[in-house]
Amino acid sequence: MRESEEKYRSLFEKMLNGFACCRIIVDEDNRPIDWIYLNVNDAFEKITGLKKETVIGKKVTEAIPGLKKDSPELFDIYGRVALTGEEARFEIYLDTLKIWFSVMAFCPQKGYFVAVFDDITENKRAEEEKKNLQEQLFHAQKMESIGRLAGGIAHDFNNILTGIMGYAELLKMQFPDTTSSVGQAADVILGGAERAANLSKQLLGFARSGKYNPVPLKINKIIRDTVKVSEKIFEKNIKVKYEFDENIKTIEADRHQLDQIFTNLIINAKDAMPNGGELILRTENLYFDKVFIKSKPDIVPVYYIKVTVADDGFGMSKEVCEHVFEPFFTTKEEGKGTGLGLATVYGIVKNHGGYIDVSSEPCKGTIFTLYFPVSEKKVIEIKKDITLIKGSATILVIDDEEIVINLAKKMLRNLGYKVLIADGGGNGLRYLKKKRT
């Protein structure tokens, strides 16, 4: 008997699971309010970090202060096991110890319970990480398919608009008198078509199929210029604070699209601060280490620049935050917002091989963080002003849209050029060959 008791004792001592034998303490209504540790093993010490001598013979409320307040359900479970004799298997996170436990509890004798447990914090963390990655992947796929749909519509829409706007321009050329009814009608058509073109341009931006002309540039200047323009619509009580790294690395980007990004972010920030506030614009150089990248599957480990746009406005709820990059998602009243601003920003950032993140808290403010990959190329100075050049040369126009071809033909002829038309790349090449022979 003694031998077998010794054997079991040594088994409990040596086993890898934590082990604790306890006596439950109840109040006058038979409700479990505490327990006393009668015995614990080495693994208990190792897992919980609590020394045997600080635990054995002690009440849990003394040995682990804070446990009762943080995890009252544990008292209910152990109480039930000790008082009813039911077994229990469960997983629980004890905030006091910052550990996830997998526990099996049983009752060796009424009023007592034994808990055998494991530390599963690592597994839980891995599970959580996997869930996060799946959610990010799902979100990326959803954005991708909305993008394809939006891009398809916007592309066709844009071609139709090019025709409408071009012919309205021609009408204006032929009826330059703006007081004539034809001239006025042409103006109205142009105004409406321009608004529609803006909308479709934003959609194309989101769908990442807009015109894209990346050049090596420094982002600080672009942001400063954009703020200068947007600042005109600011109330006086909005303070702009620049926190620029003056040695910011070069990125390759489309100036116009970057301008769109910061205009949208700045206007949103302004709208979120109707009573004034502070807008912080920060740039910094960054190297993504492997640990960071693990949680962002679509980022490649290289040098990036990080741009932060932060406001201390009214912020957003978690639900709003989850949808902000979707096209046509807006919380603004009708006529105030189309919900395309951030969708465009998202598309453009992706188009540049970048990444965008948002974090926000109601009543505290919002932080948008953008990452762009660094380029080794040299910055090119900007050429300004494009003027229409008249001439008499022959120009070959290639496009598969009849409406676009006809317009180009008329416009170029107005400038004095001879125009050849090809309705596709193949025909274009045939023309060229014929011309050479």
Ligand X SMILES: Nc1ncnc2c1ncn2[C@@H]1O[C@H](COP(=O)(O)OP(=O)(O)OP(=O)(O)O)[C@@H](O)[C@H]1O
Contact between 226 and ligand X by CB under 6 A: the answer reads no
What is the sign of the dihedral through the CA atoms of 294, 296, 300 and 306?
negative
Q: Which of residues 250-289 bind ligand X (CB under 6 A)?
A: 264, 268-269, 272
Residue 338 sits in the site that holds ligand X (CB under 6 A): yes
Q: Which of 313, 341, 354, 373 binds Mg ion (CB under 5 A)?
A: 341
Stretch in the footprint of ligand X (CB under 6 A) among 31-39, 71-79, 230-238, 308-316: 308-316
Q: Report what 324 binds from Mg ion, ligand X, none; CB cut-off 5-8 Å by kind.
A: ligand X
Other Cβ atoms within 10 Å of 320 Cβ, number: 16
Q: Which residue, 166 or 313, is less far from ligand X as judged by CB?
A: 313
Taking the complex as a whole, how short is the minimal distance between the CB of residue 322 and ligand X, in angstroms?
11
Q: How far apart are CA 104 and CA 14, in angstroms?
A: 18
Please, are residues 106 and 11 in contact by the beta-carbon 8 Å criterion? Answer: no
> Out of 105, 120, 266, 342, which residue is the one contacting ligand X (CB under 6 A)?
342
166 binds Mg ion (CB under 5 A): no
Nearest distance from residue 330's CB to Mg ion, in Å? 8
**Residue 329 binds which one of ligand X, Mg ion, none, with CB within 5 to 8 A depending on kind?**
ligand X
48 near Mg ion (CB under 5 A): no
Among 230, 268, 283, 360, binds Mg ion (CB under 5 A): 268
Report which residue's Cβ sits closest to ligand X.
Answer: 341
DSSP state, residue 100: E
CB closer to Mg ion out of 166 and 341: 341
Distance CA 139, CA 146 (A): 11
Q: How many residues belong to the site for ligand X (CB under 6 A)?
A: 22
- Interacting span for ligand X (CB under 6 A) from 37-45, 254-262, 331-339, 402-410: 331-339
Binding part of the chain for Mg ion, among 228-236, 254-262, 268-276, 416-424 by CB under 5 A, reads: 268-276
Query: How many amino acids of this chain bind Mg ion (CB under 5 A)?
Result: 2
| 206 vs 372, beta carbon nearer ligand X | 206
Comparing CB distances to Mg ion, the nearer of 10 and 331 is 331
Dump strand ranges (E) for 43-98: 88-94
User: DSSP of 229-294, one letter per residue?
Assistant: HHGGGS-TTEEEEEE--TTPPPEEE-HHHHHHHHHHHHHHHHHT-TT-EEEEEEEEEEE--HHHHH
Q: Kindly state the helix (H) or strand (E) to which residue 65 belongs, with its residue range.
A: none
HSE-up of 267 (CA within 13 Å, CB side)? 19
**Of 239, 109, 210, nearest in space to 151 by CA:** 210
**Mapping DSSP to helix (H, G, I), strand (E, B) and coil, where does residue 56 land?**
coil
Question: Order of strands, edge to edge, in the sheet holding 238-243?
Answer: 238-243, 277-287, 303-311, 365-373, 355-361
Q: Measured from the CB atom, is 169 or 311 closer to ligand X? A: 311
**Quick check: 30 and 129 in contact, CB under 8 A?**
no
Q: Which residues bind ligand X (CB under 6 A)?
A: 264, 268-269, 272, 311, 313, 315-316, 320, 324, 329-332, 337-343, 366
List contacts with Mg ion (CB under 5 A). 268, 341
